[in-house]
Amino acid sequence: MLFSKDLPSPTSIFTAYASMAGYMMMIRSMAHELIPAPIQEFIYSTLRSLFFRSSSTTLTLTIDDDNMGMDNEIYLDAQTYLSTKISPDAVRLRISKGHKDKHVTLHLSNGEIIVDVYQDVELTWRFVTDGGDKTNGGGDDDGKSEYFELSFDKKHKDLVINSYVPYIESKAKDINDERRILMLHSLNCLRWESVILEHPSTFETMAMEDDLKRDVIDDLDRFIRRKEFYKRVGKAWKRGYLLLVAAMANYLRFDVYDLQLASVLRDSDLRRLLLATRNRSILVIEDIDCAVDLPNRVEKQPVDGKNRGESQGPLTLSGLLNFIDGLWSSCGDERIIIFTTNHKDRLDPALLRPGRMDMHIYMGHCSFQGFKTLASNYLGLNDSTMPHRLYPEIERLMDGDVITPAQVAEELMKSEDVDVALEGLVNVLKKMRFKNDESSPVMKKESRLEMEEMRLRRDSEGSPMKSSKRIKKLVLFWT
């Protein structure tokens, strides 16, 4: 009985608790107002290290967003990877969506934690933001830094650094490829401007011979997977292709840059444009034979100044060669350069020598196999159905260099009726055969042999030793 009298009443206990809670809230508010965020984080980190961590067994890696003024690739990869690992129990997240993005992206907010498991090892990620307080209304990010803390048992250090981090890099690359929005870049006053590239062309819809199509696809696949090989032999990891731009971009998930050489005044401008292009991109230089008179530009110095390039230091052939295959070409990675030409014979031999261009592909005329692809695209005819009665005659009439894929497509689009469209194509082929009795498939066969010969020579000799990055080039031409 005496013991119960000594106990405080519930009312007094509640009053004391309320007073203490009020003081704590006041102290917390004052701390947030008076103590800078970096000092707060230092205090919290110190308390965590004292009470919640065992410094003898736990190792923490700090992954900063900045790497000596440049983006930290490991930070970006971790950010991408962790965006797919966010738990439904997370209470605070950041959400973002760019004007070019199709979907929103979730990221960790300050202090949020993710626990990942890799090869039965538990790894704890924590996102931290320091400085850059926007509460002043200025929105100034000066001094703001973001980083990840990756904590794990010290005995797993080698596993994390040598296996887990490369695993994250690989997964992030796959995620970015899936999310990537392809862009088409064009030149405007020596600056790249871009729009979203939404082109339906794929290798399945290309009117090409199956063997040639397979050659191009195999070459692209070999280019992508042989990064370490290119580093080992000292060749640059780039390509100079002249073909199937939209299909290649969709296949590789590469951006496309469209470069008009007539808009480039000087070699220095060309170098600057190269440095401004992104990795994992395709650079297209169309009509290289007529865009500029490269071999003679140095000699041409008109007094009247009508040739704007020469008066300011001309764009030269040597500048173009250095652009695609010289020292400046190694300032980048995973790039494909595509040239197109109507007159391959007009190009300077220095531009076409072995080791500079990796593949020459003749795309001038439509084969019967290419016609069947177009018939499938435009008329819904495919190999699974009975071949149309006009197919044998069309195959006979298309033997040789007779008609281009564009001309075939134009005829097939004239009618939705299959019979009418194919009969119209037969009539056009007969007229063209009559006008081109002397035409033969010699040029196409020679170009295919030339392509194969260059490939064999390329594989045996390789390109000049220039850098540890990959370069590869191809010429697309037609008549």
Last residue of a domain, one of 179, 206, 240: 179
> What is the structure's pLDDT at 117?
92
> What is the structure's pLDDT at 295?
45
> What is the structure's pLDDT at 298?
43
Tell whether 428 and 285 lie within a shared domain: no
> What is the structure's pLDDT at 443?
46
Per the model's pLDDT, the better-predicted residue between 476 and 88 turns out to be 88
DSSP 8-state class, residue 344: G
Range of the domain at 339: 191-364+444-477
CA–CA separation, 359 and 342 (whole Å):
16
**Chain-wide mean pLDDT for the chain?**
74
CB 341 within 8 Å of CB 287: yes
Q: Is residue 448 part of a domain?
A: yes
Please compute the mean of the pLDDT values over residues 137-152 and round it to a whole number. 70
Q: pLDDT (tens digit, 9 = 90+) per residue, 422-440?
A: 999 999 999 888 776 654 4
Q: Is 474 helix (H, G, I), strand (E, B) or coil?
A: strand
Per the model's pLDDT, the better-predicted residue between 59 and 69 turns out to be 59
> What is the structure's pLDDT at 49?
61
Q: pLDDT (tens digit, 9 = 90+) per residue, 212-261?
A: 888 888 888 877 776 665 555 445 555 544 457 888 888 888 888 888 88
Residue 462: count other Cβ atoms within 10 Å of its Cβ. Answer: 13
Q: Is residue 1 part of a domain?
A: no
* pLDDT above 60 for 176: yes
Please compute, for residue 398, the number of CA atoms within 13 A of its CA located in the half-sphere on the CB side. Answer: 23
Q: Is residue 112 part of a domain?
A: yes
Last residue of a domain, one of 154, 179, 204: 179
Question: In a 10 Å sphere around its CB, with 0-12 CB exposed, 13-18 middle and 19+ buried, how is residue 396 labelled?
Answer: exposed
DSSP 8-state class, residue 163: I
Please compute the mean of the pLDDT values over residues 312-340 and round it to a whole number. 72
Tell whether 208 and 348 lie within a shared domain: yes
* pLDDT above 70 for 476: no
Please compute the mean of the pLDDT values over residues 356-385 and round it to a whole number. 80
Tell whether 208 and 264 lie within a shared domain: yes
> What are residue 376's phi and psi, to 5 degrees?
-70, -40
Helix (H) or strand (E) holding 285: strand 281-285
> What is the structure's pLDDT at 101?
65
What pTM value is reported for the model?
A: 0.51
Tell whether 169 and 309 lie within a shared domain: no
Tell whether 273 and 167 lie within a shared domain: no
Q: Is residue 12 part of a domain?
A: no
Tell whether 389 and 470 lie within a shared domain: no
CA–CA separation, 180 and 250 (whole Å):
11
Beta strands in 109-226 (DSSP E): 113-118, 121-130, 145-153, 183-188, 191-196
Tell whether 337 and 288 lie within a shared domain: yes
Q: Which residues pair with 95 in a beta bridge?
A: 106
Tell whether 164 and 210 lie within a shared domain: no
Q: Is residue 160 part of a domain?
A: yes
Residue 318 tokens read as 């040597």
Tell whether 359 and 372 lie within a shared domain: no
Q: Is 94 helix (H, G, I), strand (E, B) or coil?
A: strand
- 278 Cβ contact partners less than 8 Å away, ≥ 6 residues apart: 255
CA distance between the termini of the chain: 112
Q: Is residue 138 part of a domain?
A: no
**Closest Cα partner for 278 from 172, 199, 180?**
180
Tell whether 217 and 157 lie within a shared domain: no
Tell whether 107 and 203 lie within a shared domain: no
User: Which percentage of the chain shows pLDDT scores above 90?
Assistant: 13
Counting the structural domains of the chain, the total is: 3
> What is the structure's pLDDT at 137?
40
CA–CA separation, 429 and 368 (whole Å):
12
> What is the structure's pLDDT at 123?
93
CA–CA separation, 236 and 456 (whole Å):
18
DSSP H stretches of helix in 109-191? 157-159, 165-179
> What is the structure's pLDDT at 138?
42
Q: What is the CATH number of the domain that holds 268?
A: 3.40.50.300
Tell whether 120 and 250 lie within a shared domain: no
Per the model's pLDDT, the better-predicted residue between 80 and 96 turns out to be 80
CA–CA separation, 15 and 35 (whole Å):
29
Residue 431: count other Cβ atoms within 10 Å of its Cβ. Answer: 10
